[in-house]
Amino acid sequence: MAVKPNYGPNYGPNYGIDAPGVIRNLMIAGVVLVAVNVVWPRISLGNVELRLFPGFVYSGAFCILGGLLMLLYSKVGKFRHRDRMLARVTWTGAETVLDAGTGRGLLLIGAAKQLTTGHATGIDIWNAEDLSGNGPEGLLANIALEGVEGKTTVKSEDARQMSFPDASFDVVLSNLCLHNIYDPVGRRKACLEIARVLNCGGVAVISDFRHVREYARVFAEAGLMVTLYTPDWLRTYPPLRMVVARKAAPGYQP
């Protein structure tokens, strides 16, 4: 008997679990640390006896809590964070939008729902470790279920080397994508590509849990007007920070 996918008319859209491997490892580590303390509350090293409590229990509890908070973000927090990111844009409905690192389309679809005559494009290379069920099939299923097929385009592209002409998009969005580029040179290239494809008068809203100051610096060096927001310690985990970068319209005088 064929197994039904976890998306479709009987399930609704599925935006996956962020960093599922990290969550799994945190939970396993937490359980192991607590279990070790229960089985071996003390260990002897020669004439020295070491008590594992409370250190192992506290460490284990911290790991489990971290995993649960990441899971809570994936199930609840990221939808609210998406709305906060979209609120940084003054929408007219006619925008051309790019979502860099679209995954299963949370930002892409959210932006598409703001549009009337505009169009949203999502790009990704879909690394499996970044998101559960990460791939174009899940993305296209979500697009169909959310009813935004006519407003969206999906492309397999790397943010470091986009095929779009200069000044192609009025809005560029990206959440938890650029930190997956592990070398600073690559992250700089991605930021410069975002600045390149951003239209004059356009805005980029980038969110991540690390390297955000680095992104802000590159955008500023590229001539964009940058606002860096404080990390959201209460509603995201790990705490996410936003940088909003605007490209001046022709004739703009600061």
For range 35-39, the mean pLDDT:
78
Could you write out the DSSP letters of every residue in 179-209?
Answer: GGS-SHHHHHHHHHHHHHHEEEEEEEEEEES
* pLDDT for position 3: 33
Q: Is 78 helix (H, G, I), strand (E, B) or coil?
A: helix
When the pLDDT of each residue in the chain is averaged and rounded to a whole number, the result is 91
Structure tokens at 128: 């499996």
The one-letter amino acid code at 220 reads A
Q: Are 166 and 216 in contact (CB under 8 A)?
A: no
Query: pLDDT tens for residues 107-128?
Result: 999 999 999 999 999 999 999 9
pLDDT cut 90: percent of the chain above it: 82
For range 57-69, the mean pLDDT:
93
Q: Are 98 and 130 in contact (CB under 8 A)?
A: no
Distances 253 to 200, 201, 244 between C-alpha atoms, Å: 13, 12, 19
pLDDT at 131 over 60: yes
Query: pLDDT tens for residues 42-58?
Result: 665 656 666 656 777 88
* pLDDT for position 252: 58
Question: Quick one: pLDDT band at residue 163, thresholds 50, 70, 90?
Answer: very high
